[in-house]
Structure formats: structure tokens, C-alpha cells
Chain A
């Protein structure tokens, strides 16, 4: 039953184990958001599962976890999340690919990865925000910045980008760091079962 050894990060052979990982990743996303809300943290922290799945099992599983996450919540609990599907897919791809190429090999690199994910999430979300909501994000802090910038004559696209950026950078930074710390603490055997990034990196 052991997961297939993958030679490329883009291998699309999914074992039963990687399929089982997807709902668990979505559950982790959900509980992460719940705990962050219970602790009244000013962050969403709702993509830890997607990031971990991508780190463990590669970009495709990461992207599928992200997509399934937003589709399922879109259809059951939070209809608006459906529209940010592409953002979740992008996060899964980016983390999965970069984890394979050594970006989770040290704490410093994980921090850099967090910044990259924050920027990618912002770049992908901004057009969605502009098309749907004239560039607002619905986040009070981000929208306050948006109001200030547009009020001073900045173009909507740029204001929207910065609106999303101030929210996404801290959030994705924290998400990736938490995921990295959990990944480090996982038993070695478990991490290599999923034949994901770390296993490859260490063999290289």
C-alpha cells in the first residue's frame, strides 16, 4: 500500500493515502480557522491543511486540496468561498512545487516561502476582488487602507492589491511558519509515507 515514489513533483499518480490526505487537509483548514477565531487572532489561518498537504504530497495534492476546500465550503457553509477557488489552487501549487525544490529545508527559507505565498495569493485574489467588489476585500483593516488610498486618488487596482496584501502577507506568513513547524515535528516515517517534498529533498 505504500505511496508511489515520485520522481517529479508533477507526477499525477495518487495513492489511496494521498486521496485520504485531502479531506484531512480540508478538516485542518477548518479547525485552524476555528482555533484562530477562538483565540481572537487577527488572522484567518484557514489554509494550513492545504499548505501541509502540498508540503507532504506535492503540488497536485496541494492544489486539489485547495480546490476541494473551497468547493465544499462553497456548497455547504460559506457560499462566497467558492469564488476564491483559484487562490486556493495557486497556494497548493506554489507551496507544493517550492517544497519539492528545497524551500522547507530551513526556518529561514520557510519564512521566505511564506512571503512568496502571500504575494501569490494577493496577485490571484486581486482580480477577483476587483471584478466582484470594486476591489474591496471585506476585511476591515485592508478596506480602511483601500479607502485611504482611493480617497487620495490611487487607482482602484493598486489600492485593491495593497488592501489584499496587508491582510495576506501576515496571514500566509503565519500559515506557512505554523505548517513548517508542524511538518518538522511529524514522525519521520509519517512524512516520508506521503512521498512528498521533504523526502525528496533529503535524498537529493
Chain B
């Protein structure tokens, strides 16, 4: 079981250094808010599709997109039914009327959701969290923050495995995990309590182990691997800035 959505592969996107991908994600999110029209939002999504596709992570992105499909559908339904500017009935299903204005707003919200997701996924799906953390610490982020990030990614699988063991142990003592809402509510504490207590007890030992290894030292850490920035990173960075500039100019001058 893994927390991170990162998919290892060897594509132009994966070979890029983490900071360049961070810039791509930031430019993508910024463009999502800069571009106002539905058409321009769709063009932006097409760009993300190309990036994700050539980075060979489109399938994983697809399952994330499907995961928020219900939320996107709620946007369309709710805004289509009740947005204050609704005036033109478009779809009439008996007593239920969907209006054009609201549906367009719902569509824009859904596109915004997918564009924000896609921009972030460019970074998330193609970057090893360890590399990203190292790149950030190299640039002055506190080393303790680096510890926190890496530690979370390691701790979660352990805790999930432990919670499965606790669930088995409690079930063997007769705990019910299915049935009425109250039965399921009552099961929460016996599942959560032992896990929390044991993980908190383990923190003391872990803190000791870290301190004897110099965790409290204030010296800047050195790095095992030198940082590699591939030749195409510069080009990608320039493209990001240019696309963002084009988006801002298009919005201001042409109303994109």
C-alpha cells in the first residue's frame, strides 16, 4: 500500500528536475484562474492532457479524474438547477428544469476542478516525493520539514498495516464492524484508540533514536546525490513562463 500517486517511469516529464515540475504545476494552477472562458479552460485541459499523455501517466490521471466525477456532476446539477442568474430553460425533465446559465457555470466549475487537478498531477504523478523534498531542502526549506514529509510517507503504510491487525484482534474479541450506524460508530474507538496510543508511545523511542543521530544539530545537511537538471529543463521553464504570460495577455486584451 502506497500513499503517493507517483508512477516511476522514464519519460521527458519524469527526467525533469522537481523544481521545473513545481513551476509547471504553479503556472497551470495560475492559468486556471487567469482564464475565464469555458473554451480557454478546455484548451488548457487539452494542454495538460498532452503533457500527462506524453509523460505516460494519463491512465493514473484518469482514475483520479473519475474519482472526483461525482463532485463535478454535483456542480452541474446544483448550479443548473438553482444558480441565481438562471433564466433560459435548457433541459426539462418533468418538474425538474435545468437552466443554460447555471449549466455553463457548473461546467466552468467542473473544468476548474479538473484543471487544478491536472496541473497538480503533472507534478504529483511524475515526481518521486523524496526527490521533491530533497530539492526543497536544498533550496533552504528546513531539514526538519524534509524529515516530516518523508516520515509521513513511511509511517502511513506501517500504520495502515497496524490498523488491519488491530481490526482483526478486535473482531476476534467480538467487535461488530457491520450493521446499524450506531454499531459502526461504536466500532470506531476500539479501532482507533490502540493505534493512536501505540503510535504515540513509539514517538518517544523514535525521538531518542533521531537525537543520537544528530537530529537536533543546526548544521546544514549535505546531500548524497548531486542535483541533476536535464538539458530540456530550461526550455520547459521558458515555455511555462511564456504560456502564463500569453494567458494573462490573452485574458486582458482578448477576454480569453
Contacts and interface: CB of A to CB of B under 8 A. Distances in A.
Contacts of A36: 188
Contacts, number: 179
Contact of A27 (B5, B116, B152, B210): B152
B138 interface: no
Q: Is the interface of A mostly helix, strand, loop or mixed?
A: helix
Given A28-B199, A30-B156, 4 more contacts: A23-B148, A28-B192, A74-B120, A132-B112
Interface residues of B, number: 68
Most buried by B among A15, A31, A56: A31
B188 A193 contact: no
Interface of B: 3-6, 64, 68, 70-71, 74-75, 77-79, 81-84, 105, 109, 112-113, 116-117, 120-121, 123-124, 129, 132, 144-145, 147-149, 151-153, 155-156, 159-160, 163, 177, 181, 184-185, 187-189, 191-193, 195-197, 199-204, 206-208, 210-211, 215-216
A48 B192 contact: yes
A181 B197 CA distance: 11
A16 B215 contact: yes
A108 interface: no
A143 B5 CA distance: 28
12 contacts: A1-B208, A17-B203, A17-B207, A23-B148, A26-B156, A30-B3, A35-B163, A68-B149, A79-B64, A134-B83, A134-B105, A150-B78
Nearest to B211: A16
B188 A24 contact: no
A76 B25 CA distance: 13
Interface residues of A, number: 59
The 3 tightest CB contacts between A and B, nearest first, are A79-B120, A23-B151, A151-B82
A27 B201 contact: no
Nearest to B151: A23
A28 B149 CA distance: 14
Contact of B82 (A40, A48, A147): A147
Given A68-B152, A181-B193, A182-B192, A76 B4 contact: yes
B81 A134 contact: no
A178 B197 CA distance: 13
Among A32, A38, A39, A190, max chain B CB count under 10 A is at A39
A145 to B, nearest CB: 10
Nearest to B79: A134
Contacts of A185: 193, 197
Contacts of A132: 109, 112
B182 to A, nearest CB: 11
Nearest to B77: A147
B133 to A, nearest CB: 9
B193 A77 contact: no
Contact of B193 (A22, A38, A182): A182
Nearest to A26: B152
A143 B74 contact: yes
Interface in A121-151: 132-134, 136, 138, 140, 143, 146-147, 150-151
Contacts of B78: 136, 143, 146-147, 150
